[in-house]
Homo-oligomer: A and B are copies of this chain.
């Protein structure tokens, strides 16, 4: 392996001078710099980041911890985060939690050991506190994406759940629906809670009575089928929902599949809408009406906030940024 010493020897200077050239120090004579750069080229020297990290305590490594990379919502977040990271000279590590607390916590330990400079995360749920407190204790900045944990002071970047929910509810009401079921995520996540509360608010604003029996809750990433759907569709005629609002794309997709199994037509017998687009290629074969959160921007912005914080350019106080969704009306409503 070619080290800074080899370069120094070849250029007839001290290792320190080579270091200065690599780090673009201005206090170097043009002549020396040229000599050193030539030696670097000759020897194909590549600086060893680990050695540098040991001293500077910076690795230029960021981590993104999300439930599942294959969900287009998180894929776009990842892409946005990676683009920003790369642009700023950072590299991005990825971890999938599968909504599993222990997997999440094992990632946190590994990341701490790896020495990432910061972490972007969609936490599994409120119970993740302890894991994320660990990072705080070790002064590793965290930025929450999509979901946050109240007791942890960190920057937050998310879609505007109130605005999105209203977009969806209003659209369904405009289509003539009054009995709109909500298939929500687990209530130990901030976004489920916000969406539930926005759902209540939106209905009330439109003067539609709230029906508790139309609110059910499941996991964001769990398979479910007829059974859950039957609890809704087997309600007596006058209580049965005519539309379903799914709390994320996965639930939306599973809802569509379950309705098909039950031989119910969409949207005639049941309209369906959800948060987050399940389609990575929009407009090529659209089905579900969605409130599309700007996932790419979420990831991009989150990475930006994180890097600012790492580099000491962020205000003390945690920031919270919420971006509006776009309603995309399609065949399902």
Contact = CB atoms under 8 A, between A and B. Distances in A.
Interface of A: 46-51, 53-54, 59-61, 68-72, 75-76, 78-79, 82-83, 86, 91-96, 109-110, 112-115, 138, 249-250, 253, 256-257, 278-281, 283-285, 287-288
- Copy number in the complex reads 2
A115 B49 contact: yes
A293 to B, nearest CB: 15
A54 B50 contact: yes
A60 B72 CA distance: 28
Contacts of A70: 72, 75-76, 79, 280
Contacts of A95: 82, 86, 91
Contacts of A82: 69, 94-96
A91 to B, nearest CB: 5
25 contacts: A49-B115, A50-B50, A50-B53, A50-B59, A51-B54, A54-B54, A61-B93, A69-B69, A69-B75, A70-B72, A70-B76, A70-B79, A72-B72, A78-B94, A79-B96, A82-B94, A82-B96, A92-B93, A253-B281, A253-B284, A256-B284, A257-B283, A257-B284, A278-B281, A279-B279
- Top 10 closest pairs, chain A to chain B, by CB: A285-B287, A253-B284, A253-B281, A50-B50, A50-B53, A70-B79, A69-B79, A49-B113, A46-B112, A91-B93
Nearest to A74: B75
Contact of A278 (B47, B49, B86, B280): B280
Contacts of A61: 93, 114
B253 A48 contact: no
A116 B321 CA distance: 34
A41 to B, nearest CB: 13
Contacts of A253: 281, 284
A94 B92 contact: yes
Contact of A46 (B92, B113, B280): B113
A76 B49 CA distance: 30
Residue of A47, A93, A283, A284 ringed by the most chain B CB atoms within 10 A: A284
